[in-house]
Amino acid sequence: MIKEPVNIIGAGPAGLTAGIVLRRHGFPVRVYEMSSEVGHRLNGDFQGLENWTSEKDITGLLREIGIETNFLCVPYHRGIIYAPEMKPAEMKSERPIFYLVKRGTMPGTLDMGLKEQALSLGVEILFNHRLDKFDGKAIVGTGPKGADAVAVGITFETKMKDQAFAVLDDNIAPKGYAYLLINQGYGTMVTVLYREYKRENEYFERMLKFFRDTINPDIRNERRFGCYGNFFIWDTQIHHEKLYVGESAGFQDCLWGFGMRYAILSGYLAAKSLIEGSDYDMLWQRELKPMLETSLINRYLFEKIGPAGYRYLAKKFADSNPCDFLRKHYNYSFFKHLLLPMAKKKYESKVKDTNCNHENCTCVWCKCGESACP
């Protein structure tokens, strides 16, 4: 049977995963990418592929959906966590808490690994092709469009050994967190702000001072970067025959921004819906929505706790198995879901395209023409 070609807009982890899975099932695939290379939005920084939300190890899950780990993917079993006015707490787990991956345009990154897999399977990637309008069916994975969280940080060279640190402190990362990840002579230090974006320089300086005063990292050849993340929950992710995946669908961990898992899984689910002829909305609502909603409620609760709450969390991470503790709190709970209406009201999507005329809209990311959209 001849399979209909699939167009994908955006060569991030979501779009590339969809392309890889579709090619494995014999679909001709063309990906449009606005930049000259994949991973352009990222900066050679380390990120954590979280390993707590599913019982199954994330690398096993990737293998199952047809994604190879041909990129830097290092298990981290421990980390030090800081909260105000308390001694640093060490969390440890036999199961990796997260896998450290690198993001960006250089060799070894998740982005380059996915690109290589896609190209070797025969996915066509058209670089320097920005598509703002597209008629007809497509998968859209164009990434975040609004800032619900802002990240500022540095990548650097160092002589420190491989380790991971996290900080919960509103004076360093208001309603967010800061982290320092070291691997094989390179480091990434970032503060993630969920408030007071305009004071990003001040919070960046405070984070730098904090890490200098506490662990005195040896920082050389640093390069500064800044970026943002976007989350929202809508009832449908099919708009004008387009299936939205990854952060362009608002799929993001609303609590702490661990969006890579959502991006990859939603790309897989969009591909699966085309392969099987099944309903994409039904698939993501079943597989992703309960966790997505819980993360929104977690954000709502996290914003209410202050230093005492941060100390409680740090202590819990240290005293229990951090993967089990996080899995319990990241997954669906009936009582927690009673808070959903309040959480939804508080965090309304910032995605609004004021330039769109809304009539017969074919915009790649504006969904305003849809009656189902808020």
Ligand X SMILES: Cc1cc2nc3c(=O)[nH]c(=O)nc-3n(C[C@H](O)[C@H](O)[C@H](O)COP(=O)(O)OP(=O)(O)OC[C@H]3O[C@@H](n4cnc5c(N)ncnc54)[C@H](O)[C@@H]3O)c2cc1C
| Interaction site with ligand X (CB under 6 A) | 9-15, 32-35, 40-41, 45, 47-50, 130-132, 141-143, 151, 190, 227, 229, 246-248, 252, 257-261, 263, 364
Q: Cβ distance 69 to 281 under 8 Å?
A: no
Q: Cβ distance 124 to 77 under 8 Å?
A: no
* Residue 341 C-beta: closest distance to ligand X, Å: 26
Two tokens, residue 240: 């004008």
CA angle (79, 85, 87) in 5-degree steps: 40
Q: Which is nearer to ligand X, 263 or 311 (CB)?
A: 263
Beta bridge partners of 7: 30
* Residue 368 C-beta: closest distance to ligand X, Å: 16
* Residue 123 C-beta: closest distance to ligand X, Å: 14
Q: Which is nearer to ligand X, 71 or 311 (CB)?
A: 71
Separation of alpha carbons 159 and 184, rounded Å: 8
Q: Which is nearer to ligand X, 10 or 217 (CB)?
A: 10
* Residue 56 C-beta: closest distance to ligand X, Å: 16
3-state class (DSSP) for residue 224: strand
* Residue 183 C-beta: closest distance to ligand X, Å: 13
Q: Which is nearer to ligand X, 75 or 307 (CB)?
A: 75
If you write DSSP's letter for every residue of 81-140 in order, what string do you get? EE-TTS--EEEE-SS-SEEEEE-SSSTTSHHHHHHHHHHHHT-EEETT---SB--S-EEE
Q: Which is nearer to ligand X, 16 or 274 (CB)?
A: 16
3-state class (DSSP) for residue 358: coil
For 178, phi then psi, to 5°, come to -120, 155
Quickly count: other Cβ atoms within 10 Å of residue 293's Cβ.
19
* Residue 2 C-beta: closest distance to ligand X, Å: 27
Q: Which is nearer to ligand X, 110 or 311 (CB)?
A: 110
